[in-house]
Amino acid sequence: MAFMTARKRVEGMGSAKEGTRHFWNTTVTSIALLILVPLFVFTLGPALGDSHIAVIARFSQPFPA
C-alpha cells in the first residue's frame, strides 16, 4: 500500500530551489529599509505643519549652505 496523494504524483511540483535567493532578497530589502525609513522621517518630518512656501523653500536647496 503506497501512501501517495494525487498532489505528490504530479510532476514538476517539487522544490523550486528559490528559497535562498528569496531569503537574501528579503534580508537586503529589510536592511535597506532600516536605513531609508529613518532618513525619510528625519528629512520630511520637520516640514510637517509648515506652510507651503516654507516647505518649498526648505526643499528647493538640497544641501543647506
Whether 15 contacts 22, CB under 8 Å = no
Distance CA 47, CA 24 (A): 35
Give the domain ranges of the chain: 38-65
**Tens digits of per-residue pLDDT, 41-61?**
998 888 899 999 999 998 898
Please calculate the CA angle 38-27-30 and round it to the nearest 5 degrees. 20
pLDDT of residue 10 exceeding 80, the answer is no
CA atoms within 13 A on the CB side of 9: 5
Q: How confident is the model at residue 38 (pLDDT cuts 50, 70, 90)?
A: very high
pTM above 0.85, yes or no: no
Q: Is 55 exposed, middle or buried (0-12, 13-18, 19+ CB in 10 A)?
A: middle
